Amino acid sequence: MDPSALGPVRRVRTATLDVGYHDLGDRAAPAALLLHGYPYDVHSYVEAAGRLAAAGMRVIVPYLRGHGPTRFLDPAAARSGQQAALGTDVVELMDALGLPAAVLAGYDWGGRAACVAAAAWPERVHGLVSVNGYLIQDIAASMRPLPPRLEAGFWYFFYFLTERGRAGLAADPRGVAEVIWRRNSPEWSFTDAELDLVARSFANPDYADVVIHSYRHRLGAAEGAPRYAELERALAGQPAIPVPAITLDGGADGNFPATDGTAAATHFTGPREHRIVPGAGHNLPRERPEAFARAVLDVGAV
């Protein structure tokens, strides 16, 4: 992986954030936004972005709120990590860049942001690629337990509900990420240097606040920011995604076992294909960039 392949960090002001992002390819070409997850950053897309740019797409890879160079414009703004905030950030970024529509593609937090935008603003979305399927949270059902073997992998959800967890994340975000990476992607042989590179994004002054709020909100333990209340009410109804979609499951995802995709089928009312990517863990775009890029190109051609 060559981190410099993403090119320079650019900046643009949205209605909420000063966003750091990378911009590859022809500015006049059809655009794809590649959205990273937690605890990861834009480097998940070094290889996939290059493939897409070489295939003729414009590729925009932003740092999500609380990560890397992205900053809040208002010092007093709530450092929310809720799903409505993440989805709104995507559309506000498109507005700032003058993009009427784009393909949205992501995994984890980024997949959730893409799903929210595709459900709430389908006219802005040419197509969707989402790892692990339909990711809009059903917060009302968040206390429904999972099988114990799956709950064990989500230890950090519960850790972050406590002030001990907040302190632990603030003190050693790299260490927390390493444990999650190893569980999420048991077949991915990442290096210390790669983890160090991504961990630089965790030095953002808003990182711990955004992450803690995200997990507390999804478990119903924290209120959302008032400005996102209307959208959260809509998301509580588990809205359908009407745009063309390709969903992906990693065949070696340590926390999200691969499925045939049928459980989420009713949430997709447009053309949708589900693919299992052998050998891929949770950081699928980094681990299998060719499969991720192929999905983006295919959904953009629908």
170 pLDDT higher than 70: yes
Hey, which residues does 127 pair with through a beta bridge?
Answer: 103
With a pLDDT cut of 90, the percent of the chain lying above it is 95
Concatenating the DSSP letter of every residue in 103-158 gives EEEESTHHHHHHHHHHHH-GGGEEEEEEETS-----GGGTTSPPPHHHHGGGHHHH
Angle at which helix 163-171 crosses helix 207-218, to 10 degrees, equals: 140
Q: What is the pLDDT of residue 238?
A: 98
Q: Which of 245, 233, 251, 253 is nearest to 122 (CA)?
A: 245
Across the range 118-136, mean pLDDT stands at 98
Q: Give the per-residue pLDDT at 161.
A: 98
Instruction: Give the CA distances from residue 186 to residues 53, 254, 261, 286, 289, in Å, rounded to whole numbers and listed in that order.
Output: 29, 6, 22, 14, 17
- 128 pLDDT more than 80: yes
pLDDT digits (tens, 9 = 90+) for 222-271: 999 999 999 999 999 999 999 999 999 999 999 999 999 999 999 999 99
pLDDT band for 3, please (50, 70, 90 cuts): confident
Please state, in angstroms and rounded to a whole number, the distance separating the CA atoms of residues 261 and 25. Answer: 32
Q: At what angle do helices 83-97 and 109-120 cross, to 10 degrees?
A: 70
5 falls in which pLDDT band (50, 70, 90)? Answer: confident
2 vs 275 pLDDT, higher one = 275
Compute the mean pLDDT over every residue in the chain, rounded to the nearest whole number: 96
- Judge whether residue 198 has pLDDT over 80: yes
Residue 1 is predicted with a pLDDT of 64
**Whether residue 302 has pLDDT greater than 60:** no
DSSP state of 42: G
Which of 1-15, 20-34, 44-58 comes out lowest in average pLDDT? 1-15
d(CA 89, CA 170): 24
Mean pLDDT on 176-189: 97
Q: What is the pLDDT of residue 301?
A: 72
- Neighbour tally for 275: CB within 10 Å: 15
Predicted pLDDT of residue 300 = 79
Q: Strand pairing of 17-24 and 58-62? A: antiparallel
In the predicted model, is pLDDT for residue 4 greater than 90?
no
The ranges assigned to domains in the chain are 3-300
Q: Going by CATH, does the domain composed of 3-300 fall within 3.30.450.20?
A: no
Q: Which helix (H) or strand (E) holds 35?
A: strand 31-35
